[in-house]
Amino acid sequence: MPRDFPAPPVFADLMEAKARLAPHVHRTPVMTSRSFDAETGARVFFKCETFQRGGAFKFRGAMNAILALPEAARARGVVAYSSGNHAQGLAYAAKIAGIPATIVMPRDAPALKIAATRGYGAEVVFYDRYSESREEIGRRIAEAQDASLIPPFDHPDVIAGQGTATIELLEETGPLDALFVPLGGGGLLAGAALAAQALSPGCRVFGVEPAAGNDGQMSLAKGEIVEIPVPRSIADGAIVTAVGRHNFPVLRDAVTAIETVTDAELVAMMRFHAERMKLYVEPTGCLPGAAIRKQAASLAGKRVGAILSGGNVDLARFAELVLAAGEEAA
Ligand SMILES: *Cc1c(COP(=O)(O)O)cnc(C)c1O
């Protein structure tokens, strides 16, 4: 349900989300690595949302948005347009809630992703990404079915749901000096910043986005949302053209800075997570680790959190990326 602007969520919304989600989400593990700590000089705690339902944190926001709907609206179902983790997160959440879901996907989306979304019982509607507007199609379907359109990040209930990952992390680690979070449209980061502000005051919160698409960094510098052309990066969960309108005020008020990393740095981090930590992380999920490596000089002796946001990447694609980078890259 769209709400009036500006209505950014507050910490109390995150606690409400946490209670609502408790029976449904996995409390994902927090992992550490002696070799990463030795390399960076920091004590780093990785919150592994790779083990969340649907393979990414997106399930939290999707499930919270569904559960927050009034019962009658919920029963009529939900609609999303996404080719990525939000589609799978929402489809899975709808299945658990026992309501219908329609996902608008590009006709040329990876067969595996289409199959996974259908596997959760969602109806998949295709569009042509070069000639049709998915927003338009999504809105039309939502209207025709009287269903609720659930956006991937620009929604208070989605932000509140994503913030529960950071609440869990801080419950486990206690106060942190710094927290690194991937940044796409800002659902995960806005939620993380609200959680950190409340539970670990003084913790510096960093968003991390691909260097090729630093719209978030430019937006914070300019004090307003900056829109860019679709960026090209292997971090496909973070290649958005602009942060959300509900997200921006939270980022502006509660985020310390936005850092950027290159695709090569992401691949090196993917390799590290796999080889040294035995973690299968998608490129977007490698943003925080890669940024911590770059910032190591300022993090020595600090307690640092990192949200490993997801692990949905084809094995063949994973292998292609790490093998192309060669041995030395790690
Ligand atoms: C969606 C996504 C992100 C970015 O989250 P936003 O809320 O859009 O900023 C980061 N990592 C993964 C794995 C994602 O699926």
Domain ranges of the chain: 11-57+155-329, 58-149
CA of 260 to the centre of ligand 1 (A): 15
95 vs 113: CA distance, rounded Å: 16
Determine the pLDDT at residue 135.
86
Determine the pLDDT at residue 1.
43
CA of 52 to the centre of ligand 1 (A): 13
**Which residue from 46, 58, 166, 312 has its CB within 8 A of the most atoms of ligand 1, so it is best to mutate?**
58
pLDDT tens for the chain, 330 residues long, are 444 455 789 999 999 999 999 999 999 999 999 999 999 999 999 999 999 999 999 999 999 999 999 999 999 999 998 878 999 999 999 999 999 999 999 888 878 788 889 999 999 999 987 788 888 999 999 999 999 999 999 999 999 999 999 999 999 999 999 999 999 999 999 999 999 999 999 999 999 999 999 999 999 999 999 999 988 999 999 989 999 999 999 999 999 999 999 999 999 999 999 999 999 999 999 999 999 999 999 999 999 999 999 999 989 999 999 998 765 544
Determine the pLDDT at residue 131.
84
Long-range CB pairs of 2-8 (<8 Å, 24+ gap) are 2/149, 3/156, 5/245, 5/246, 6/245, 6/246, 6/249, 7/156, 7/246, 8/156, 8/159, 8/190, 8/246, 8/247, 8/249, 8/250
CA of 20 to the centre of ligand 1 (A): 21
178 vs 57: CA distance, rounded Å: 20
278 vs 32: CA distance, rounded Å: 11
Task: Judge whether 11-57+155-329 and 58-149 match in fold.
Answer: yes
Q: Is 58 in the active site? A: yes
- Evaluated on CA atoms 318, 321, 327, 328, the torsion sign reads negative
Determine the pLDDT at residue 248.
97
pTM of the model: 0.95
Determine the pLDDT at residue 329.
47
Does any ligand 1 atom lie closer than 6 A to the CB of residue 208?
A: no
Determine the pLDDT at residue 72.
96
42: its two tokens:
């920091």
- Its CATH architecture, for the domain 11-57+155-329, is 3-Layer(aba) Sandwich (3.40)
Strand partners, 182: 208
From the candidates 13, 49, 168, 215, give the one annotated as an active-site residue. 215
Q: Is 83 in the active site? A: yes
- Ramachandran angles phi, psi of 31, nearest 5°: -120, 155
97: its two tokens:
């809630």
- Ramachandran angles phi, psi of 76, nearest 5°: -80, -10
39 vs 58: CA distance, rounded Å: 30
From the candidates 216, 289, 309, 311, give the one annotated as an active-site residue. 309
86 vs 84: CA distance, rounded Å: 6
51: its two tokens:
């083990």
Determine the pLDDT at residue 6.
55
Pick the CATH number of 58-149 from 3.40.50.1100, 3.40.50.10540, 3.30.420.10, 1.10.3710.10: 3.40.50.1100
**Which residue from 47, 64, 85 has its CB within 8 A of the most atoms of ligand 1, so it is best to mutate?**
85
The ligand 1 atom at the shortest distance from the C-alpha of residue 188 is: 7
Determine the pLDDT at residue 327.
58
Residue with CA at minimum distance from ligand 1 atom 7: 187
CA of 280 to the centre of ligand 1 (A): 16
Nearest Cα residue to 93 out of 108, 109, 74: 74
